Structure 1
Amino acid sequence: MRDAAEFDDFYAASARRVLGQVYAMTGNHAEAEDAVAEAYLRAWDRWDRVRECDSPEGWVRRVAYRLAVSAWRKAANRLRAHRRDTTAGHVDAISPDHVALVRGLRLIPADQRRAVVLHHLVGLSVTEIAAETGRSPNTVKTWLARGRRALAEHVTSAEPLVLDGGRQS
């Protein structure tokens, strides 16, 4: 039997954090919101099993990430089928550093981005990331090393950061 109060407490304690993490992994706030909402709905439907997981929050984050990736694949396939051009979406940011980090994360491969976000922003260990992604710890270490190098190339540019139609900051 599902315990609504227990689930409500779980949701209240973890929803904002999971949304931020999935947003960091996907780079699209609206897609992250949709995926996280659907993941929590699925967690509620399976709460008797999810609550027994080692990390119910990790379960929700993993499901949300998979939903976001699936949605992205569907959208990419539709775009290819219709041969339409896409434009980059606008991401509201709180600082130039935030903009640079989000831009840099978008430019590195998805597996590396996921590992970097889970390790450095979520705070998971290599072992925990390996368990969440279903990959070996050595693969996760490789993703982290390559991801850090790739991210550093994109966020440590000598060029000034240009925002808002050409103003330099």
Structure 2
Amino acid sequence: MASTDPATAGDPRMVLEQLYRAAAPRLVVAAYAFTGDLGEAQECMQEAFVRAYAHPGRILQTENPVGWMRIVTVNIARDRMRRKRRFAVLHRLLATTPDPVPAATPDRVAILTAIRVLPAGQRETVALHYLLDLAVDEIAELTSVSVNTAKSRLRRGRAALSVLLSEESVSMTEARND
């Protein structure tokens, strides 16, 4: 590329700076024609300059740096628009109604609080069995323990929950009576 200033003709950073000052507004307009969004158009132009900065030799070797930057900017805008259309299609295809989140009733809060108090193995087994509806053999496989260990953890977890929840029930009853 022939620079207007012979002192900066070989310095890619200076060439890119001059090119930015001279062409950026026109590149934004070109990208805006594709995107219809000024912010998106500005990002396309900026991405084009980032690419140019990563490969300054391309700018220095081209006879029409503004034309080259226009092509890069417009291609970036096209790619972004294609991606947005694809995402919109996928979003429509995959969009389902979200599962309702269970209400945070006092009983549910008490159960989840009690589960958190259990030792790690019991907590994991109880949560997998009661919250994810997994069978004991599935839990054993998932946690890399024997089926008997999974059964033992589930039995111990139930026993501990029984004690913890009955204590919780007693404390809640006492609190109501105060």
With normalisation by structure 1, the TM-score equals 0.45
| Greater RCO (CA < 8 Å, at least 6 residues apart) | 1
In proportion to residue count, which structure has more helix?
2
Q: Which has the larger radius of gyration?
A: 2
